[in-house]
A and B are shown apart, each in its own frame.
Chain A
C-alpha cells in the first residue's frame, strides 16, 4: 500500500490522479448538465456526498461483505445514498430536481464512486476513506465546474442566472449543445496533461 497520509491523498485526488483528467471516470452522469452552472454545482455536491459516505460505509463493512457479492452490495450502498439525495432534492429544490431529471439517479452508475470504493475503501480505515471520497469528489467537481462556467458564460452570457455580458452579446449556440462539452473536456485534458508531462520532464 502506498502512502495514505491525508495530504498525499488530497494532492493525488485533486491533481496527479484526478478522476477526470487521468482516469476518465464518471463523466456520464454529470457532463450532460454542465450547460448550467447551478445544476452542475448541485450534481457535483451530490456526487461528493455519495462518494464520501459510500467510502465510509464500505470501509466500515469491509470485513462483513463476502468478496463474491461485494459489487452488488456496493451498488446497493450507493443506491441508498443516491435515494437520500433524490428525496432531499425533491423536497427542498423541486425545480432543480425536475431539471436534473434522470441524472440524479445516474449517480449510481458513476464509475468514480464504485472505483474509489473498490480501490481505496476496501483496504483502508473509515476516516481516511471518508477523506479520500470527499477529495476525489472535489477533484471531479473542480473540472466539471470549469466546463460549466465556460459553457454557461459563452452559451447564454450569464453565470448562475445573472447576466454577465451586455445586451449586445450574441450567445454561442454551440456552447449549450452537447458537442461543446466534449470539446471543452478534451481541451482541458490536453492542458492538464501537457503541464503534467512538462513537470515530469523537469
Chain B
C-alpha cells in the first residue's frame, strides 16, 4: 500500500536503497554473463532501463484496465510475460526502422531482456505494492537506472579483478559473486537515508 509516497522518492529509493539487483537479486543471469566488458554492459544497461520504463507502464495499464475489472488477476503471470515479450518485439522493430545505428548497439540485447527476471519482477512488485501510474513509471525507470549503475560498476571492477591473482577455484563466477557481495554491502550504506517498501 503506497498511495502517499512521492514518485521522486520512489525513483531515488529504487536506484540506491532498494536496488533491484543488489537487494532483490533480480536480473542476475544476464548480469553475470555480460558484465565482462564495459561496452556491452553499457548497452545492456541502457536497454534494460528503456524496456523497464515502457513495460512497467504498459503492465500497469493492462493490470488496471483489463485484469482487475474482469477479475483475471490470477492470470497476471502469463499476461505480464506476454505484454513484456510483445513490447520488446515492437521496440526492436521500431528501433530497427528508425535508427539502424542504435539497433546495432541496443538491438542485440533486446531478445535477452524478455527473460530478464528484473522486468517481470518490477511488474510483480508494482502490483503487490499497489503503486499508481506515476509511481509505477518512477519505479520502473529507477530500477532500470539502478541496474545500469550496478552493471557498469561491476564491469569496471571486473577489469581490475582480471589482473589480480585469484585462486583457481574462485576464478570466474565465484569471484564475481563475491564482488557483487561487496557492492551490495556498499549499497546497504544507503539504506539509512530512506526506506521505501
* Residue positions of A touching B, CB distance < 8 A: 24-29, 31-32, 71-72, 75-76, 79-80, 82-83, 86-87, 101-102, 105-106, 108-111, 114, 177-183, 185-187, 189-191, 193-194, 197
Contacts and interface: CB of A to CB of B under 8 A. Distances in A.
21 contacts: A24-B33, A28-B27, A28-B117, A28-B121, A32-B24, A76-B78, A79-B77, A86-B74, A101-B124, A101-B125, A109-B115, A109-B116, A109-B119, A111-B115, A178-B25, A181-B181, A182-B181, A186-B170, A189-B173, A190-B169, A194-B168
Contacts of A197: 168-169
What size tier do the contact residues of chain B reach? 35 or more
Given A29-B117, A102-B128, A105-B124, A82 B77 contact: yes
Contacts of B81: 75-76, 79, 108
A72 B83 CA distance: 12
B77 A26 contact: no
Nearest to A181: B25
Nearest to A101: B128
Contacts of A27: 25, 28-29
B2 interface: no
A178 B22 contact: yes
Contacts of A191: 169
B128 to A, nearest CB: 6
A201 to B, nearest CB: 10
A105 B78 CA distance: 10
A31 B25 contact: yes
Among B25, B75, B85, residue most surrounded by chain A Cβ atoms (within 10 Å): B25
A193 B120 contact: no
Contact of A190 (B25, B170, B184): B170
B162 interface: no
B100 interface: no
B169 A193 contact: yes
Contacts of A71: 114
A186 B117 contact: no
B182 interface: yes
Contacts of B68: none
A179 B23 CA distance: 8
A175 to B, nearest CB: 12
Nearest 5 pairs of A and B residues by beta carbon: A182-B181, A194-B169, A102-B124, A186-B177, A186-B178
B115 A83 contact: no
Nearest to B181: A182
Contacts of A32: 24-26
B192 interface: no
B50 interface: no
A191 to B, nearest CB: 7
Interface in B120-144: 120-121, 124-125, 127-128
A76 B175 CA distance: 35
